[in-house]
Amino acid sequence: MTESGTMVRGNSAWPGVMEHYRPFLPVEPGEPVVTLREGNTPLLEAPRLGAVLGGIRLYFKLEGCNPTGSFKDRGMTLAMSKAVLRGARAVVCASTGNTSAAAAAYAARAGLPCYVVVPGGQVARGKLAQALMHGALLVQVDGNFDQGLAAVRALAGEHREVELVNSVNPYRLEGQKTAAFEVVDQLGEAPDLLAIPVGNAGNITAYWRGFCEYQRAGLASGRPRLLGVQAAGAAPLVEGRPVARPETVATAIRIGNPASGPLALQAVAESGGMLTAVSDEEILDASRLLAQTEGIFAEPASAASLAGLRRHAGAGLLAEGMTVVCVLTGHGLKDPETALPQGPQPIRAASPDAASLAGALGL
């Protein structure tokens, strides 16, 4: 009910992250806002997995519930709005998939052309479908994400009319920090620990900034320790050196030389947390566990955060009664090809009648 006592119908009250968190963002009243009403994603308690992990209070932040199915929308609303404000003629990004999907959707909303550069053969099908469906011009390069990012940075440097919307664009991280605000608003306090997958290292940096700003504003009494999780075949921050040929089933975080690496290392250190690496097998195990014990379908890169927690359960990082938030960055529908072999395989019924069905199901 509103103050005047009328019923609010639907979710029309949520305006998107720029309007909702405007006092914390570099946005003046009256500036253009390109939004798909991103943010306000569920923070879901997971008591069964919390018990398995030693009696922690475990929550999942479901960023796959954003309009394009990943957390990228939080930063893209701001980056696209600023691109419009400065009169950019087009936007460009390099991407392992999700950034390209978000850029393409928000560019469509803004009426701007969108150019995306992706590593050939390594992007999950759902993400490709999104970028193309939203009308982006997609360039596949014979190289990895790191090389693609270097190329688009140089391109945007030479063609000033084209706005770069990767997370090296400062507005991206400003928008993404709103996820930390939401976690605190939803829990009523900062969690003790936040587990999060790390690729180009922008998101973990943005969360830390958000937690610090909320604490400074007196809206949280503490800040969480950060557990940043990389895939073992693409773990430059854990290994302390760039990885020339990153490899992992979690293609979203198949990154060997993260642009925000130094900021992420600083954030983890300030938080008293740690970085860890998990194998592809641990990632796929965690994604099955999420899907089959909690009903949550997350893409492999997202499941890395749960895999990291499982690896450290009982190793001193987790203690009974602790509040832990695990960030699930993207929706499982993004990557059906990786998911399909993971669950039970389809069975055939001899004919479409009850007896055949009962036979096939073993009833």
Q: Contact positions toward ligand F0G, by CB under 6 A?
A: 70, 95-99, 167, 197-203, 252-253, 299, 301-302, 329-330
Write down the least CB distance from residue 360 to ligand F0G, Å: 36
- Identity of the residue, 50 or 202, whose beta carbon is nearer to ligand F0G in the bound complex: 202
Least spacing, CB of residue 100 vs ligand F0G, in Å: 7
DSSP symbol at 292:
I
The most distant pair of C-alpha atoms in the chain lies apart, rounded to whole Å, by 69
Nearer to ligand F0G among residue 55 and residue 170 (C-beta): 170
Closest residue by Cα to residue 165 from 228, 113, 276, 91:
91
* Shortest Å distance, C-beta 13 to ligand F0G: 28
Nearer CB in complex with ligand F0G: 56/255: 255
Round to whole Å and give the CA distance between 258 and 43. 28
Q: How far is the CB of 218 from ligand F0G (least distance, A)?
A: 28
User: Is the separation of the CB atoms in 314 and 348 below 8 Å?
Assistant: no
Query: What is the enclosing helix (H) or strand (E) of 225?
Result: strand 225-231
Whichever of 233 and 322 has its CB closer to ligand F0G, that residue is 233
Residues contacting residue 205 through CB under 8 Å, at least 6 positions apart: 173, 260, 263, 264, 267
Closer by beta carbon to ligand F0G, 191 or else 236: 236
Concatenated DSSP letters of 239-273: HTS--SS---S-GGG--SS-TTHHHHHHHHHHHT-
DSSP string, 129-141: HHHHHTT-EEEEE
Query: Is the CA virtual torsion 323, 327, 333, 335 positive or negative?
Result: negative
249/322 with CB nearer ligand F0G: 249
Nearest CB to ligand F0G, comparing residues 275 and 322: 275
Minimum distance from CB of 265 to ligand F0G (Å)?
Answer: 12
